[in-house]
Amino acid sequence: MFKRILIANRGEIATRIILTCREMGLHTIALYEAPDEGSRHVRMADECALLDAPLGFLDQEAILRIARETGAEAIHPGYGYLAEEPEFVAACEAAGIVFVGPGTAVLQTLRNKIETLARARAAGFPVVDYAPVAFDERELKVLEIAADLVGYPLVVKSCSGGRGSAERLVRTPQFLETAVHRAQQEAQAVYGNQRVYLEKAILPAHQIGVQILADKQGHIIHLGEREGSLQYSNRKVVEEAPAPCLTDDLRQQIWQAALDIARLFQYENAGTVEFLLDNDGNFYFTEIKSRIQVDHALTEMMTRINLVEEQLRIAAGEPLRHTQADVRLDGWAMLCRIHAEDPWRRLPSPGRLRRVRLPGGPEVRVDTYVYSECDVPDKYDPLIAKLTVWGADRARCLARARRAVEDLQLVGTPTNLPLLLHVLCAPEFADGRYDTSLLDAEFKCQPQHDTYYRDLAVIAAMLYVRRNQMFRPSVPVRALNAWHQDSRRLPE
């Protein structure tokens, strides 16, 4: 096992990795840019290094130079940035530095999303319909022809990132050019590669991801599935495990398909095999996320297996410490993604958080980099925290999630906490009867109990008084005697 590890990421995932490294006795080196100088991950690491490079966390040469200068034996990329970049992995291998993730060959294969779908289809797995070529901004006419062949509605996806960032839903041809342009801009900013491809949209659908672990010796296990169908402004907001839409038989089929697909690509380290499930119970393979994911905390709560620790041990060449028979999926878990943004205007809201109060209690976990009087930079993704809870069953888990969101206090800049609470209180979510269509633009917040509006009126009234009351200091009349007056009299 290596002893010094460089964390090539920031925010809540960097703090998450540091915590595990400290428990394992590993020396951590945190990278940071100037806007993140006061971030929690910088304060927690054993040492830190300023990443003063034009490309920031996408600058491979700068990161490798810092790794060599600090004596790092391994680099953990977290998610995003260089986590799925085969050229960076190859550069790490050439420099004799361990990359915590899949090897170059696996990433090179999975990076080609179209080839990945083609190989899976040839192996007999059901996949979504897609255009068999990728496009850049100069190929709009060819792209329009391909879109007609795939059929509307369709999804524009990044060749580097897949589902999530740089994904755009296109319902009719007149919006194709705008959607492609915006997807390419975001893909270039996030992944450094603007090429996109087209995929037939399945509407409505359920988004299912199966967590897998695979070592270098060829052993592969799954750790159950997660459902991330609740998305708002192209971002997941609430996820849960297990997926309430699956029957026991369908769940077993998806688990087995995930293991077989991982073996097909000779996968190693932690990853997620993703599927779309339609309302008729048909599931389709879409991609493999070859990294740890934002929602990995759900799996950790369900299995009590530390995925970051397993990543590090696998990267160091150790075999899996768990067999499939060892994996126990107990209870229910829910995760809320907390963003610094105005959810009603769908705009990010960087700024200073004057007060941060995190929820507590049994089976409540918060992954975050923020604290009272910290700044949320405008340069990065607005995700500032993840709230994960566990319960013995779904009803108790949901009640705990609602309570934890109510207890979480973030004062100073708008966040999506009100939206999260409305989602958790929505009847469709409470009954487990939801899909990707629930948080469409027409999503209506459910009316609250009368006491909610009563308390809200009291809060608004008190806030109005505080902001408008004038405080005029004055001296009591009895203090204005001759002695005081004489002491203040100017000499003539």
Reported as type and span, the H/E element at residue 400 is: helix 394-407
Residue 466 has pLDDT above 80, yes or no: no
The pLDDT, as a whole number, for residue 287 is 94
Specify if 220 maps to a domain: yes
* Judgement on whether residues 416 and 292 belong to the same structural domain of the protein: yes
Angle at 491 between CA 490 and CA 492, to 5 degrees: 115
Same domain, 143 and 292: no
Distance set, CA 89 to CA 84, 217, 219, 267, 271 (Å): 8, 20, 22, 15, 16
CATH classification of the domain holding 134? 3.30.1490.20
Which positions ≥6 away from 204 have C-beta within 8 Å?
278, 279, 435, 436, 437
Do both 216 and 354 map to the same domain? yes
Range from 151-165, 329-343, 428-442, 444-458 carrying the lowest mean pLDDT:
444-458
For 327-349, write each residue's pLDDT tens digit. Answer: 999 999 999 999 999 988 888 99
Using CA atoms, how far apart are residues 390 and 332, in angstroms rounded to an integer?
A: 6
Are 415 and 383 part of one and the same domain?
yes
Q: Are 309 and 418 contained in the same domain?
A: yes
Q: Quote the pLDDT of residue 442.
A: 59
Q: Per-residue pLDDT for 166 more than 70?
A: yes
Q: What is the pLDDT of residues 340-377, one digit of tens each?
A: 999 888 889 999 999 999 999 999 999 999 999 999 99
List the one residue out of 400, 418, 417, 412 whose CA is nearest residue 371: 412
Percent of the chain with pLDDT over 70: 91
465, part of any domain: no
Domain boundary among 384, 404, 430: 430
Q: Does 471 or 138 have the greater pLDDT score? A: 138
**Quick one: pLDDT at residue 439?**
86
Looking at the structure, do residues 355 and 373 belong to the same domain, yes or no? yes
Instruction: Cite the active site residues.
Output: 291
The reply to whether 349 and 396 lie within a common domain is yes
Place of tokens 């006419």: 141
For residue 276, is it within any domain? yes
Asked whether the predicted pLDDT for residue 448 surpasses 70, the reply is no
Same domain, 346 and 412: yes
The residue among 200, 228, 261 that closes a domain is: 200
Among candidate residues 171, 200, 229, the one where a domain is terminated: 200
Q: Is residue 422 part of a domain?
A: yes
User: What pLDDT, on a 0 to 100 scale, did the predictor assign at position 281?
Assistant: 92
pTM score, whole prediction: 0.88
**Residue matched to tokens 């530390």:** 306
Q: Is the confidence at residue 474, as pLDDT, over 70?
A: no
Q: Mean pLDDT, the chain, as a whole number? A: 91
Q: Residue 300: helix, strand or coil by DSSP?
A: helix
Report the C-alpha gap between 21 and 15 in whole angstroms: 10
Identify the residue whose tokens are 């901004």: 137
Query: What is the Cα–Cα distance from 73 to 95, expressed in whole angstroms?
Result: 10
370 and 344, same structural domain?
Answer: yes
**Residue 357 falls inside a structural domain:** yes
CA distances from 5 to 66, 84, 99, 101, 327 (A): 11, 18, 10, 13, 28
In the chain, the number of structural domains is 3
Domain span at 189? 129-200
Residue 151 belongs to some domain of the structure: yes
Which domain CATH number covers 381? 3.30.470.20
Is residue 159 a part of any domain in this protein?
Answer: yes
CA distance 269 to 227: 21
- Give the rounded percent of residues in the chain with a pLDDT score beyond 90: 74
pLDDT tens digit string along 122-133? Answer: 999 999 999 988
pLDDT, residue 435, reads: 93
Domain co-membership, 347 together with 223: yes
| 487 pLDDT more than 60 | no
**Is there a single domain that holds both residue 251 and residue 395?**
yes
Q: Are both 212 and 164 inside the same structural domain?
A: no
pLDDT at 470 over 60: no
**DSSP annotation string for 312-366:** HHHHTTPPPS--GGG----SEEEEEEEESEETTTTEE--EEESEEE---STTEEE
CATH number of the domain that residue 52 is part of:
3.40.50.20
Residue 446 has pLDDT above 70, yes or no: no
Tell me if 109 is assigned to some domain.
no
